[in-house]
A = this chain, B = another copy of it.
Amino acid sequence: MSLAPKVLAGDLRAAARLMRLCDDDFASVVEVMKAIYPHTGKSAIVGVTGNPGSGKSSLVDRMVQRYRAHSKKVGVVAIDPTSPFSGGAIMGDRVRMNRHFGDEGVFIRSLATRGHLGGLSKSTAEVTRVMEAWGADPVIVETVGVGQDEVDIVKMAQTSIVVMVPGLGDEIQAIKAGLMEIADIFVVNKADLAGADRAVADIQYMLEMVPPAEPDAWKPRILRTVAFRDEGVDEVVRAVDEHRDWLGRTGRMEAKQRERSEVQFFDLALSRLADRLRATLAKDEFAGWSERLSQRKQDPYTLLEQIADRLFKTP
């Protein structure tokens, strides 16, 4: 129980330990998580998404440098698609860690999107909370751009940045994935490449096609960067601040925080329900359930009714 005050005092090792325990033995730290919860919810949460090769990691790196220059502690959660082969996140913490090695004001963590058998990633919320409790502000959540899970994660950020590269058809993919509608800031990275003007014009055109839902809606920014040469990054950081100000000024921050709380609670609850489901199916009375379904000796709807009878107080 002495973990909570340590994390709240900004102890990096204690925070890392709490995160590990969240993954390995959540029951042992649930009281710690309860204790830190009231100290969360105040940091800026910035989502950054883009296809592999868009340079979003370089951009995040450069943004981290800016925040560090202002003595802010920064958290980075890098969400990687799970490899079904290795079962883990593809990019490791170590690769990323090296970039800010020795800087005790940067906390980086890689996470896989999802586990097996319907197990949603419960840990994004917990990792973000631990980072906030440790003092990170902002927390940057970085994801690969196509796929509903990733879109959901970015939607949960207060400010969403979509990173694109000229000439790769990223705009089309962004539309398909529904990213166009959630981006607060578009970044055309590698803006020194041919086609940057066209990419900016395309984004502008698509934004004009969707009329703003409310008269005082946020007008998404379209910015150009060359992250590896550190160009245009100040403008991105400034746009993030402006968007956050706008959220607060127009009263939208509150609604956003409530939605975030709702979705994160559902993720948490569903992952626990999945644990309970697994435990119930492991009981003797259900032995061989998957064979029975697969061999069509039982149907899934009847099995579900049996489980519900066993599990729930009321129908």
On A, residues with C-beta under 8 Å from B are 30, 33-34, 37-38, 40-41, 51-53, 80-85, 90, 113-114, 117-118, 120, 144-152, 155, 168-169, 172-173, 175-178, 180-182, 210, 254, 257-270, 272-274, 276-277, 289-291, 293-294, 296, 299-304, 307-308, 310-313
Q: With A53-B169, A149-B148 known to touch, is A265 a contact of B300 (CB < 8 Å)?
A: yes
Most buried by B among A180, A181, A267, A290: A290
A270 to B269, CA, bound (A): 11
A257-B294, A276-B312 are known contacts; what are 4 more A-B pairs with Cβ within 8 Å?
A: A41-B296, A84-B182, A117-B262, A168-B169
**26 CB-based A-B contacts, threshold 8 Å:** A30-B301, A34-B302, A37-B301, A41-B294, A52-B173, A53-B172, A80-B176, A81-B148, A81-B151, A81-B177, A85-B178, A85-B181, A118-B270, A147-B147, A147-B148, A168-B168, A258-B290, A258-B294, A259-B290, A261-B300, A265-B289, A265-B300, A265-B303, A270-B270, A270-B277, A273-B274
Please give, as numbers and ranges, the residues of chain B lying within 8 Å of A274 by CB-CB distance: 266, 270, 273
Please give, as numbers and ranges, the residues of chain B lying within 8 Å of A182 by CB-CB distance: 84
How many whole Å from A199's CB to the nearest CB in chain B? 16
A182 to B83, CA, bound (A): 10
Contacting residue for A265 out of B41, B151, B290, CB 8 A:
B290
Nearest chain B residue, comparing its CB with the CB of A314:
B311
Contacting residue for A81 out of B120, B147, B308, B312, CB 8 A:
B147
Please give, as numbers and ranges, the residues of chain B lying within 8 Å of A258 by CB-CB distance: 290-291, 293-294
